[in-house]
């Protein structure tokens, strides 16, 4: 009976938390639509006495940018959660295991070899390279016997560093250092209508990952456990890698690299929700979108009317949050 009495309280608390989170995300969305160099007033938007400049600024610049922030942040957060399940470690994400560096290499290679290719074709090459980088990381990881909580992210960082050095060497040879650095810092300032639609593909792939959250959770428990439940472990791993590669390629091709989203958000949600992936995956997507939009607003307001790229702001905020998570886990380990 006490459990039955507690169920409505839990349901009401969950509903209240969702309402508060959606209200906060809505406030950030309105802030993203209102902040910018052009003076956009909601009163003048619906006024017949004004020209169409305000509506054009919103529809062709502010709305696409806000949608891109929502799509990129949510999809990268879910991709980070998926990568952590596949690697069976909470301290990895696409930007720390070589996935984003591999996608950047694919994008740079297409610009050198076939610059006339459409953006979709370039994204496909970047996705294939990202898939190869992720598979290489898991292959290297499978050969390491001592897989402590710290060895896994170190292996990923070393691999990402090697791939980044390779990208830098190629970019230096072909005078593309400035372009490479632009991809390293996710920037939404150039997002307008017609330059963000590819991110809808990342949303579709993310939805597929959310629907298959239980299967990916089983894959994260190990090959023997998944096999005992009648699941094809290798097929699940490859499906997860394809999801991560497609999401990473879409984001890198559209706005560049966004660090720490896939690392910080799943860990913060895990501290509150636990390891129940089915219950936490939607929270991860929501918090990823909110964190990305908040960092973008900080970058736009910090030195207005100029902007700080969202990748730079995310690097500062994400590193601080990551240190807080590490210190908290260290205190919990000492207390245990």
Residues comprising the chain, all counted: 336
| pLDDT computed for residue 147 by the predictor | 61
Cβ-proximal residues to 261 (8 Å cutoff; 6+ apart), any chain: 73, 76, 77, 80, 93, 288, 291, 292, 314, 318
| pLDDT computed for residue 25 by the predictor | 93
The whole-angstrom separation of Cα 323 and Cα 300 is: 25
| pLDDT computed for residue 3 by the predictor | 45
Selection from 144, 138, 184 nearest residue 161 by Cα: 184
Torsion from C-alpha of 66, 71, 74, 76, nearest 10 degrees: -120
User: CA 165, 171, 173: angle at the middle one, nearest 5?
Assistant: 105
| pLDDT computed for residue 295 by the predictor | 93
| pLDDT computed for residue 323 by the predictor | 83
The whole-angstrom separation of Cα 202 and Cα 288 is: 14
Rounded to two decimals, the pTM is 0.87
Residue ranges of the chain whose pLDDT lies below 70: 1-11, 39-51, 54, 146-149, 330, 332-336
């Amino acid at each position: 009976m006490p459990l039955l009495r507690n169920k409505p309280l839990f349901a009401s608390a969950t509903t209240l938390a969702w309402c508060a989170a959606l209200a906060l995300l809505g406030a950030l969305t309105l802030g993203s639509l209102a902040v910018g160099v052009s003076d956009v007033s909601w009163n003048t938007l619906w006024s017949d006495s004004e020209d169409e400049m305000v509506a054009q600024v919103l529809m062709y610049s502010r709305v696409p940018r806000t949608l891109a922030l929502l799509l990129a942040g949510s999809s990268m957060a879910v991709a980070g959660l998926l990568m952590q399940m596949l690697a069976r470690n909470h301290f990895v994400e696409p930007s720390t295991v070589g996935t984003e560096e591999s996608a950047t290499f694919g994008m740079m290679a297409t610009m050198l070899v076939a610059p006339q290719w459409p953006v979709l074709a370039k994204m496909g090459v970047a996705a294939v390279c990202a898939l190869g980088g992720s598979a290489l990381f898991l292959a290297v990881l499978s050969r390491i016997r001592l897989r402590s909580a710290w060895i896994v992210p170190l292996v990923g960082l070393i691999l990402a560093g090697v791939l980044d050095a390779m990208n830098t060497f190629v970019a230096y040879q072909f005078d593309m250092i400035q372009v490479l650095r632009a991809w390293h810092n996710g920037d939404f300032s150039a997002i307008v209508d017609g330059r963000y639609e590819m991110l809808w593909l990342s949303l579709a792939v993310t939805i597929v990952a959310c629907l298959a959250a239980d299967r990916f959770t089983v894959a994260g428990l190990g090959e023997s456990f998944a096999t005992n439940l009648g699941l094809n472990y290798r097929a699940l791993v490859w499906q997860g890698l394809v999801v991560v590669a497609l999401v990473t390629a879409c984001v890198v091709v559209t706005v560049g690299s966004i660090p720490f989203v896939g690392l910080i958000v799943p860990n913060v949600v895990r501290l509150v929700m636990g390891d129940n992936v089915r219950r936490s995956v939607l929270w991860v997507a929501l918090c990823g979108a909110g964190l990305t939009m908040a960092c973008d607003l900080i970058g736009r307001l910090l030195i207005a009317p100029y902007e700080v790229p969202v990748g730079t702001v995310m690097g500062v905020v994400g590193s601080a949050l990551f240190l807080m998570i590490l210190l908290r886990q260290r205190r919990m380990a000492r207390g245990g």
